[in-house]
Amino acid sequence: MTRLIVNGVPHTVDVPPRRLLSDCLRHDLGLTGTHVGCEHGVCGACTVLLDGRPVRSCLLLAVSVEGQEITTVEGLADGDELSPVQQGFEDCHGLQCGFCTPGFLTTITAGLRENPDPSEDEAREMIAGNLCRCTGYQNIVAAVLRAAELSS
């Protein structure tokens, strides 16, 4: 049995040691907001926060994060109220198909905690490890800056 704390809620799951964290979140806990785009840590769609730091959940085994705090996209909003990062994406048309979006949202959430007032260069740097095939990133950069503005 493995104890996972996801979005503040404790879960106990019985998974084989080889179960990826991404699969465990999606298929054992039903938290399907975390998406899997490449299964080898390149695209960033599966990014979740582990004790506040962004990690690729497709590169982690569920059993290896026993007891650690995991935040997924489902844990970003305050009830019905979008987080500043989510609001930034809505305001700036930062998503199209939405598949890569959860990974961007978690990555930027952590990024803005570290650097609440990024320059445009820093905003680009913040998202430089995530792939998006729809938006050409223009409006995602704008969304980062908008989120910073909303948070201040």
Partner 1 sequence: MTKMFGEPIKRVEDRRLLLGGGAYLDDLGHDALAAALVRSPHAHARIVDIDVSGALDVDGLVAIYTYEDLAGPMAEPLPLLIPHPTLTHGRTQYALARDEVNHVGEAVAMVVARDRYVAEDAAERIAVTYDPLPAVVGIDAARAAQHLVHPDVPGNLGANMTQEYGDAHTAIANAPHRLTLELNIERSASTPLETRGVLARWDTDSGRLRVWSSTQTSTGVRAAVAARLELDLTNVEVITPDVGGGFGVKIVHPWPEELLVPMAARALSQPVKFTEDRREHFIASAHERAQQHHVEVGFDDAGRILGLSVRFWHDHGAYTPYGVIVPIVTSTQLLGPYKPGAYRVEFDSLYTNTVIVTPYRGAGRPQGVFVMERTLDAIARSLGLDRTAVREVNFIQPDEMPYDFGLTFQDGRPLIYDSGDFPASLEKLKKLVGWDSFEAYRETARAEGRRVGIGLATYVEGTGVGPYEGGHVLIETSGKVKVATGLTSQGQGHQTVFAQIVADELGVPISDVEVVTGDTRRFPYAVGTFASRAAVMSGSAIALAARNVREKALRVAAEALEADPGDLEIVDGVVRVRGNPGAEIALGTVAVLSNPLRYAFDEASKAATQFAVGDPGKPPVAEDDEPGLEGRDYYSPPHATFANGMHAVIVETDPDTAEITILKYAVVHDCGRLINPRIVEGQIHGGVAQGVGGALYERMAYDEHGQLQNASFMDFLMPYVTEVPRGIDIDHLETPSPLNPLGIKGAGEAGVIPSAAVFAAAIEDAEGIPITSMPISPSELFELRSTSPGFGRPASNTGLGGQNREEST
Query: In this chain, which stretch among 39-47, 49-57, 60-68, 109-117 interacts with partner 1, using CB under 8 A?
Result: 39-47
Could you tell me where the DSSP H helices lie in the chain?
21-23, 84-92, 101-114, 120-126, 138-151
- Near partner 1 by CB under 8 A: residue from 59, 82, 145, 150: 82
Question: In angstroms, what is the minimal distance from the CB of 151 to partner 1?
Answer: 16
**Cross-strand pairs, 48:** 55
CB 102 within 8 A of CB 73: yes
Q: In what order do the strands lie in the sheet with 9-13?
A: 9-13, 2-6, 69-71, 47-50, 53-56
- Near partner 1 by CB under 8 A: residue from 13, 63, 99, 122: 99
Window 6-35: residues binding partner 1 (CB under 8 A): 16, 18-19, 26-27, 30-35
- Near partner 1 by CB under 8 A: residue from 66, 117, 133, 149: 133
**CA-to-CA dists, residue 20 to 49, 64, 70, 77, 112, angstroms:** 15, 9, 14, 25, 27
Interface ranges with partner 1 (CB under 8 A): 16, 18-19, 26-27, 30-40, 42-43, 45, 72-74, 76-77, 82, 86, 89-91, 93, 95-102, 105, 120, 124, 127-141
